[in-house]
Chains A and B, each alone.
Chain A
């Protein structure tokens, strides 16, 4: 919200549920800063004038210190600091706790563009369309270097890291178009890796999704699962050379070294690219790495497929971090014509 019409903005627009709380916090901290700095600077000025040197040979009365004062100005700032910590931690906790029943959008960062894929298959580059008043979770990874997905109007930001999934979420509260920036330095065109986030009324969002012939990622994933010959070993009847993957998403898996890992996005991705890292109990490592053969988006599609054939309850009881599958496309849906 620019306070003046002639482009002297002080605060970015408030367009998400977090924005108001973050702004209140920010203003409160400025007030505290102003009180302290003005207090100290005023004290200095008063002392400077009042106690200015009057004679070359004067020695003022010496004061060694005062324990009471020291304790006061140690304890009071400490208590204030704890308060600030608690306030900040509370907001952070909300931002970083995965929301329930969110719309999941998959985002890939790449020098120097942002790609997004919606659950029903709609894709976009350097833009993001989200519905108003609905929780949106972004699952993100990078194909090359570090990036960060930053929407100032939503007060959210998260690094986008190659080799792992990171996520952030928000709930837009105001229709409009807002800035999208890459905030983690990523090379030559870092400042060109920008775009827009458009918040649409739910109806408009549905209409926007409908514009185009799209295939849901889970369907593409299913096709990949057979075209890459995953289904040969990970056979649906459980008799293949690899573990059966249906009804598994979100559940814990026992490994050959005795430990347990959740069968979630991160583990699936790692197993596709680096099968030797964690091997399921009672199985041999015979799977080749698919590094270089599948893109990050294709991996996400395979994950979407595995999620769609996962347990009905989403495996939420067992998994620690995997959110319930919100993927509405069913595996049974007939495959639409390939979008390429």
Chain B
């Protein structure tokens, strides 16, 4: 629209200058993450209320989860946060190749996470542990039958929280592909890399959510020998 906007690559016409645009993007992402916190916050509230209500059911439910796969995924996500941070770092230096390399590493790690998650879910479905009324038929002994109703509550919280988290991962991978494509096309320079930085915020947020989910869901029954009291 205006003349000077045409000179600056990446500057949208309604912004006065690059700083304003970058500030807008950053504040926007932080606000978005705030809404995400509130979004997950509702589930964390439900988690704490039901855990207080059914402590034994949560213990038994937690035993059903595979701590090793969950632990593996935790490591995978933490490393992916590191690679994403590196990608942001190299985008600031304007080193396109290294930036793309670390993005690719992040992409691979994110995909590994989802694949592991897929196998975890698959196992739950096969054991009839998905908490919907038409599939939920856990074996009579594991967990003990009298806990089935409470474990079902644990399991819907598990599926809702990890499912929502996985959805964020899938969206994140989609966005990452877009950012990589833009980077490949040479859209980012030393002066213009805010999409990379802003995406980094999102990726770290999704990572942090998992850092809370892992102990709350997987480790709750870890210190107790199998079978409970």
Direct contact of A and B (CB under 8 A): yes
Q: Tell me the A residues contacting B by CB distance below 8 Å.
A: 256-257, 274-277, 279, 285, 287-289
- Report which of A276, A287, A288 forms a contact with B56, defined as CB distance below 8 A: A276
Q: Write the chain B residue with the least CB distance to A273.
A: B149
Q: Write the chain B residue with the least CB distance to A256.
A: B229
Q: In chain B between 127 and 178, which residues have their CB closer than 8 angstroms to a CB of chain A?
A: 144, 146-147, 149-150
Q: Given A257-B55, A257-B56, answer yes or no on A276-B147 (Cβ-Cβ < 8 Å).
A: yes
A287 to B144: give the CA distance in the assembly, Å. 13
Q: How far is the CB of B219 from chain A (nearest CB, A)?
A: 18
A189 to B137: give the CA distance in the assembly, Å. 36
- Chain B contacts for A288, CB-based, 8 A: 146
- Chain A contacts for B54, CB-based, 8 A: 277
> Is B53 interfacial (CB 8 A cutoff)?
yes
- Chain A contacts for B229, CB-based, 8 A: 256
- Chain A contacts for B144, CB-based, 8 A: 285
Q: Write the chain B residue with the least CB distance to A279.
A: B56
- Chain A contacts for B57, CB-based, 8 A: 276
Q: Write the chain B residue with the least CB distance to A270.
A: B53
A279 to B147: give the CA distance in the assembly, Å. 12
Interface hub of A276, A279, A287 (most chain B Cβ within 10 A): A276
Q: How far is the CB of A254 from chain B (nearest CB, A)?
A: 14
A274 to B146: give the CA distance in the assembly, Å. 9
Whether the Cβ atoms of B56 and A274 lie closer than 8 Å is: no
**B contact patch SS:** helix
Whether the Cβ atoms of B149 and A274 lie closer than 8 Å is: yes
Whether the Cβ atoms of A276 and B55 lie closer than 8 Å is: no
- Chain A contacts for B146, CB-based, 8 A: 275-276, 285, 287-289
Interface residues on B, range: 10 to 19
Q: In chain B between 42 and 58, which residues have their CB closer than 8 angstroms to a CB of chain A?
A: 53-57
Number of A-B residue pairs with CB-CB distance less than 8 Å in the complex they form:
21
- Chain B contacts for A289, CB-based, 8 A: 146, 149
Q: How far is the CB of B142 from chain A (nearest CB, A)?
A: 15
- Chain A contacts for B149, CB-based, 8 A: 274, 276, 289
New A-B pairs, 19, CB < 8 Å, besides A276-B146, A288-B146: A256-B229, A257-B55, A257-B56, A274-B149, A275-B146, A276-B56, A276-B57, A276-B147, A276-B149, A276-B150, A277-B53, A277-B54, A277-B150, A279-B56, A285-B144, A285-B146, A287-B146, A289-B146, A289-B149
Q: Write the chain A residue with the least CB distance to B146.
A: A276
A276 to B53: give the CA distance in the assembly, Å. 11
Q: Write the chain A residue with the least CB distance to B147.
A: A276
Q: How far is the CB of A279 from chain B (nearest CB, A)?
A: 8
A–B Cβ pairs within 8 angstroms, 16 of them = A256-B229, A257-B56, A275-B146, A276-B56, A276-B146, A276-B149, A276-B150, A277-B53, A277-B54, A277-B150, A279-B56, A285-B144, A285-B146, A287-B146, A288-B146, A289-B149
Q: Write the chain B residue with the least CB distance to A276.
A: B146
Interface hub of B55, B146, B149 (most chain A Cβ within 10 A): B146
Q: Write the chain A residue with the least CB distance to B56.
A: A276
Q: Write the chain B residue with the least CB distance to A284.
A: B229
Q: How far is the CB of B49 from chain A (nearest CB, A)?
A: 14
Q: How far is the CB of A281 from chain B (nearest CB, A)?
A: 10
A274 to B54: give the CA distance in the assembly, Å. 10
Q: Write the chain B residue with the least CB distance to A291.
A: B149
Q: How far is the CB of B218 from chain A (nearest CB, A)?
A: 21
Q: Write the chain A residue with the least CB distance to B151.
A: A276
A250 to B147: give the CA distance in the assembly, Å. 27
Q: How far is the CB of B227 from chain A (nearest CB, A)?
A: 12
- Chain B contacts for A279, CB-based, 8 A: 56
- Chain B contacts for A277, CB-based, 8 A: 53-54, 150
- Chain A contacts for B147, CB-based, 8 A: 276
A79 to B53: give the CA distance in the assembly, Å. 40
Closest 7 CB pairs between A and B? A276-B146, A285-B146, A276-B147, A257-B55, A256-B229, A276-B150, A276-B56
A276 to B61: give the CA distance in the assembly, Å. 14
Q: How far is the CB of A322 from chain B (nearest CB, A)?
A: 21
Q: How far is the CB of B228 from chain A (nearest CB, A)?
A: 10
Q: In chain B between 24 and 45, which residues have their CB closer than 8 angstroms to a CB of chain A?
A: none
A208 to B48: give the CA distance in the assembly, Å. 49
A188 to B146: give the CA distance in the assembly, Å. 36
A288 to B146: give the CA distance in the assembly, Å. 7
A285 to B144: give the CA distance in the assembly, Å. 10
A288 to B145: give the CA distance in the assembly, Å. 10
What 1/0 mask marks residues of chain B from 53 to 70 whose CB sits below 8 Å from any chain A CB?
111110000000000000
Q: How far is the CB of A91 from chain B (nearest CB, A)?
A: 30
A285 to B59: give the CA distance in the assembly, Å. 15
Q: How far is the CB of B185 from chain A (nearest CB, A)?
A: 55
